[in-house]
Amino acid sequence: MDLDDQLRRYFATDDLSTVTPAGLEAGVERMKVDFGMEQDKGRRFALWALMHILGAAPDLDVAFENEDERNVARDFMEMMEKAAGL
Q: In the chain, what are the domain boundaries? A: 3-83
Question: How sure is the predictor about 1, in pLDDT bands with cuts at 50, 70 and 90?
Answer: low
Mean pLDDT for the stretch of residues 72-79: 96
CA distance 81 to 85: 6
C-alpha separations of 27 from 46, 49, 51 in Å: 15, 14, 10
Q: What is the pLDDT of residues 54-74, one digit of tens each?
A: 999 999 999 999 999 999 999
23-45: per-residue pLDDT in tens?
999 999 999 999 999 999 999 99
